[in-house]
Each structure stands twice: as structure tokens, then as C-alpha cells.
């Protein structure tokens, strides 16, 4: 059954049904690494939303100009240009850049953005591509925020944003493993399982046999 | 065949050209502010590490370029001046390897004793290495030590669960002391 593609539908699908991290499982490496601090995730999320939306718009605009044989190099050039713009802009805010510096250039090879360019924006109308970029970007940011709140709060006992403690559990005897790499995988697996369970429950049960 | 290649190449070139113009424009807009920020960061760190001997830092680009051949990780060199303008110490901004890179400023006085250290930026693991890099009692113990190289575990106590970072910071201080000795030999 072919569904009518509404703009709102394009936007909202990024949160649950085609969530880039939990369902498509692309762009994981940087998100696992930076989700140790809530503050980082806010800026990383903003950077990804910006790059994803802009590259979706541009690629959708020039989709008839791009020859099929060289589409990937052109996508990479467009994406890399926006990433460089973000990189240069963030350098003027040293407090942010010192934490995210390594990960910003890596947005270029973040599979989410190339996957959306190749799989969606290069064959969609500009308005749809814009909504897709915003939706997927926000879906990515939401998951990052959930992961980082969990990891920072239970890994260090408090959430510090912009040098102010927002929430404190009043102890620093917390399981450090959560802010280390294993903690990233455990948190991610838990979230992914939660989403699967939610989606299973919504679907009518499929009888076996 | 040639026409196809030309067509593809031309289109790819056009996209790249537009991108290059856009980037060049962005770069000229933000370049000044980036330089300003980096300069400010280094100067502030130099001031902090020289504050215990009440010296005013003055950036010395010539000193920096004369040292960078031997010490490629050095990114800033400051002379510490007293009120009458005599050099009573130095501050060096340098990069050292902990678990990741740590950029730090180290102040050294005329006798080669450390006057203070400050971590400018660190990419250490939050909650582990990053804690050591911001730990005042760990950083404070370097003060007054030198000019002989320091050894972790002998004259410096590391922070538990942050071995790499402790080592990286100790190495950074040793590098600054090295530069100081180098300067003494040269003069």
C-alpha cells in the first residue's frame, strides 16, 4: 500500500520509525564517543542538524544536474563544505571546540548524512528533503540527549552544563563504567531494545504457524 | 567517450568551484576571530602560571620560532617581566601526550623552578583523565620543583585511575624544564 508522503510524515519519521541511530543504526561511532556529556551532545546535535539539512537542501536542488556516475564525489564535496563551515564557526567558541574538535570533521564521513543524501535527498523534492533533514537530525539529537543524560548522571553522579551543576545525586561513588566505552554500548543496547519492544507492542500480534 | 568524461569532469569541477568560493568566503570572515581567540587563550594561561612570581607575560614570537626546531610541540613562548622590565621567568605553552593530547602552559622562574601549570585544553576521558587535568592538588605539587627532570612516583604523585594523564602532564612539565635548560645553555 503506497502512502501519501506528507511533509509532517517526513519530519516525524526520523524520531521513531527511521530513527538514524536506533533503527537504521548509522553514524554510531561518534555518538557513542561523545555521549559522555550532555553539553557536548547539544552542540553535536546542532552541528549535525545544520549539516544534514543544508546538504539535503542543496543536493535536492541540484539533483537533476548531478550525473549518476559522479554522484558520490559530489555528495561528499557538498557535505564536506558544510562541515568545514561548522568547523570554522565553532573555532570561534573555544570552550565548545576543545571538547568537540575531533568529532566535527568526522561528520563528513558520518553515514547518516551520506545515507540521507544518497537514499533520499537525491530523489526527493526540496521541501520533503528539508523536512527529512530536520526530522532525522532531531531524531539523532534526541537519542544523543537521552544517552548522555543517562551516562553522565549515573556515571559521574551529576550533570554539569556550562560549568554549572544542573542535577546532582550528591555522591560521586558511581559506576564509572557508564562513561567509558562499555557503558556506551550498554546504554545504546538498552535504548535500542526499549524501542524494539515499544514497536512490537504497537503492531498487531502475528500468529505463528 | 571523451565527451562523457568531459561532461562529468566539468560538472564535478563546477560543484567544487562553488564550494571552494563559499569556503574561502567563510574563512576570511572567521579567520581573524579564530586567531584572536587562540592568542587570548595562550596569553591568559601564561598570565596564570606566572602570577605566583608576579611577572607580566610578554609574548615573544622570535623566541618561539628559535625553539620550535628543537621542540616541535611548543606553541607559545612568553617572557615573564617584572615591573622594571627584567626577565624573571618564562611561560611555555606546549602540547603533551596523555591518553589524548593535552595543551598546557608551564611557568618557569629564573632558577628553573616551576611557578605554576595550567591545562589549556584536554581531550582526556571525562570523569577519569579530565578529572586529573583539573585537579588543583595534583597540579599544585609541581610548583617549586625543577630544574631537574621530574619522575612520576618519585617526586610527583600521580592521580589514581588517571595514569596516562598524570604521565602526560609530568612529561609536559619536563619538556618546559628542558626548554629552560636549553635556553640557559644557549645564553
**B66-86 per-position pLDDT tens digit:** 888 888 888 888 988 888 888
Give the end-to-end CA distance of chain A in Å, rounded to a whole number.
Answer: 25
Q: Please, what is the average pLDDT of chain A?
A: 83
Check: CB of residue A89 under 8 Å from CB of residue A155. Answer: no
* CB-neighbour burial class of residue B152 (10 A; exposed 0-12, middle 13-18, buried 19+): middle
- Residues on A contacting B at a C-beta cutoff of 8 Å: 36-37, 62, 65-67, 69-70, 73-74, 77-78, 80-81, 84-85, 88-89, 91-92, 94, 98-99, 101-102, 155-156, 176, 179-180
Closest B-chain CA to A154: B127
Q: Which of A30, A59, A88 is the mutation pick for testing B, counting most B CBs within 10 A?
A: A88
Phi-psi region of A162 (alpha: psi -120 to 50; beta: other; left: phi over 0): left
Burial A131-161 (b: 16+ CB within 10 A, else e): bbbbbbbbbbbbbbebbbbbbbbbbbbbbbe
Please tell me which residue of chain B has the smallest CA distance to A100.
B123
Model confidence band, residue A50 (pLDDT cutoffs 50, 70, 90): very high
- Under 8 Å between Cβ of B175 and B113: no
pLDDT digits 0-9 by tens, A58-95: 999 988 888 888 888 899 999 999 999 998 888 888 77
pLDDT of B92 reads 92
Mean pLDDT throughout A162-180? 77
Give how far B4 is from chain A: nearest CA, Å: 10
Q: Per mean pLDDT, which range of A61-70, A100-109, B11-20 is the poorest?
A: A100-109
pLDDT at A204: 64
Three-class DSSP category at A160: strand
Residues of B in contact with A81 (CB under 8 A): 19, 22-23
Contact indicator for B142, B114 with CB cutoff of 8 Å? yes
Residue closest to B108 by CA, chosen among B117, B95, B98: B117
Interface touch A179/B41, C-beta < 8 Å: no
**Binary contact (A81, B22; C-beta < 8 A):** yes
Give me the percent of chain A exceeding a pLDDT of 70.
93
Task: Tell me which residue of B80, B84, B85, B34 sits closest to B60, measured CA to CA.
Answer: B80
Residue B62 DSSP one-character state: H
pLDDT band, very low/low/confident/very high, at A209 (cuts 50, 70, 90): very low
Q: How far apart are CA A52 and CA A26, in angstroms?
A: 14
Q: Does B17 touch chain A (CB under 8 A)?
A: no
The three three-digit cell numbers of residue B117, written as one number? 601549570
The minimal CB distance from B30 to the residues A77, A89, A102 is found for A89
**Confidence (pLDDT) at A124:** 85
How far is residue B109's CA from residue B111's CA, in Å, rounded to a whole number?
A: 6
Question: What are the residues facing B97 on neighbouring strands?
Answer: B101
Higher-confidence residue of A101 and A86: namely A86
Residue B159: predicted pLDDT: 85
Contacts with A39 from chain B: Cβ below 8 Å: none
What was the pLDDT predicted at A23? 81
pLDDT of residue A1: 34
Which B positions 53-112 lie with beta carbon below 8 A of chain A? none
- Determine the pLDDT at residue B20: 93
**Can you list the alpha helix ranges (DSSP code H) found in chain B?**
2-50, 61-67, 129-133, 136-140, 163-186
The answer on pLDDT for A3 being more than 70 is no
Chain B: residue nearest A70 by CA? Answer: B8
Q: Give the position of cell 627532570.
A: B149
Asked whether the beta carbons of residue A37 and residue B121 sit closer than 8 angstroms, the reply is no
Using the beta-carbon criterion (under 8 Å), do A94 and B7 form an inter-chain contact? no
Asked which of A12-16, A75-79, A197-201 is least confident by mean pLDDT, the reply is A12-16
**B127 confidence band (pLDDT: 50, 70, 90):** low
Provide the mean pLDDT of chain B: 87
Query: pLDDT band for position A161 (50/70/90)?
Result: confident
- For the ranges A2-11, A12-21, A138-147, B32-41, which has the lowest average pLDDT? A2-11
R_g of chain A computed on alpha carbons = 19
Q: Which helix (H) or strand (E) holds B101?
A: strand B101-109
Chain B environment of A155 (Cβ under 8 Å): 127
Q: Which of B26, B125, B127 sits opposite A88 (nearest CB)?
A: B26
Measured CA to CA in angstroms, residue B107 lies from A7, A15, A170, A197, B92 at distances of: 59, 51, 36, 57, 6
Rounded mean pLDDT of B30-43?
85
pLDDT at B185: 86
Percent of chain B with pLDDT over 90: 18
Q: What is the mean pLDDT of residues A105-128?
A: 84
Highest-scoring range by mean pLDDT, A12-21, A43-52, A161-170, B125-134: A43-52
Q: How far apart are CA A69 and CA B9, in angstroms?
A: 11
Residue A130 has pLDDT above 50, yes or no: yes
Q: With an 8 Å Cβ cutoff, are A102 and B125 in contact? A: no
Q: Which helix (H) or strand (E) holds A83?
A: helix A71-90
A84/B11 Cβ within 8 A: no
Question: What's the rounded Cα separation, in Å, for the pair B89 and B169?
Answer: 20
Sign for the pseudo-dihedral over CA of B91, B94, B96, B102: positive
Percentage above 90 pLDDT, chain A: 16
Checking if the pLDDT of A207 tops 60, the result is no
Are residues A89 and B34, on separate chains, in Cβ contact within 8 Å? no
- Residue A150 sits at the vertex; the CA angle it makes with B138 and B128, to the nearest 5 degrees, is 15
SS3 B58: strand
pLDDT at site B53: 83
Amino acid at each position: 500500500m503506497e502512502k501519501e508522503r506528507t511533509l509532517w510524515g517526513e519530519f516525524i519519521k526520523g524520531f521513531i520509525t527511521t530513527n538514524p541511530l536506533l533503527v537504521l543504526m548509522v553514524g554510531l561511532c561518534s555518538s557513542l564517543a561523545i555521549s559522555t556529556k550532555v553539553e557536548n551532545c547539544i552542540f553535536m546535535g546542532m552541528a549535525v542538524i545544520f549539516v544534514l539539512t543544508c546538504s539535503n537542501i542543496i543536493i535536492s536542488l541540484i539533483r537533476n544536474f548531478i550525473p549518476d556516475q559522479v554522484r558520490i564525489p559530489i555528495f561528499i564535496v557538498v557535505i564536506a563544505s558544510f562541515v568545514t563551515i561548522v568547523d570554522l564557526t565553532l573555532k570561534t567558541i573555544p570552550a565548545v571546540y576543545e571538547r568537540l574538535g575531533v568529532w566535527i570533521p568526522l561528520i563528513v564521513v558520518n553515514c547518516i548524512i551520506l545515507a540521507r543524501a544518497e537514499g533520499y535527498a537525491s530523489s526527493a523534492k526540496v521541501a520533503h528533503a528539508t523536512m527529512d533533514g530536520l526530522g532525522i537530525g532531531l531524531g539523532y539529537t534526541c537519542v544523543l540527549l537521552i544517552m548522555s543524560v543517562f551516562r553522565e548522571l549515573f556515571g559521574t553522579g551529576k550533570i554539569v552544563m556550562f560549568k554549572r551543576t544542573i542535577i546532582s545525586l550528591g555522591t560521586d561513588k558511581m559506576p564509572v563504567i557508564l562513561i567509558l566505552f562499555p557503558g556506551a554500548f550498554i546504554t545504546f543496547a538498552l535504548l535500542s531494545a526499549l524501542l524494539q519492544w515499544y514497536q512490537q507492542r504497537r503492531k498487531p500480534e502475528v500468529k505463528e504457524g | 567517450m571523451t565527451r562523457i568524461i568531459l561532461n562529468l569532469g566539468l560538472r564535478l569541477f563546477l560543484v567544487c568551484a562553488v564550494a571552494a568560493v563559499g569556503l574561502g568566503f567563510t574563512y576570511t570572515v572567521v579567520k581573524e576571530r579564530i586567531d584572536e581567540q587562540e592568542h587570548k587563550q595562550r596569553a591568559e594561561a601564561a598570565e596564570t602560571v606566572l602570577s605566583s612570581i608576579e611577572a607580566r607575560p610578554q609574548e615573544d614570537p622570535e623566541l618561539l620560532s628559535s625553539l620550535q626546531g628543537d621542540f616541535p610541540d611548543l606553541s607559545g613562548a612568553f617572557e615573564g617581566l617584572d615591573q622594571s622590565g627584567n626577565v624573571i621567568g618564562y611561560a611555555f605553552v606546549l602540547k603533551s601526550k596523555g591518553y589524548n593530547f593535552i595543551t598546557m602552559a608551564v611557568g618557569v622562574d629564573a632558577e628553573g623552578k616551576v611557578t605554576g601549570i595550567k591545562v589549556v585544553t584536554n581531550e582526556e576521558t571525562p570523569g577519569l583523565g579530565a578529572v586529573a587535568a583539573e585537579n588543583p592538588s595534583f597540579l599544585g605539587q609541581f610548583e617549586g620543583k625543577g630544574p631537574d627532570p621530574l619522575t612520576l612516583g618519585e617526586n610527583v604523585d600521580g592521580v589514581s585511575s588517571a595514569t596516562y594523564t598524570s604521565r602526560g602532564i609530568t612529561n609536559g612539565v619536563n619538556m618546559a624544564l628542558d626548554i629552560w635548560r636549553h635556553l640557559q645553555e644557549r645564553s
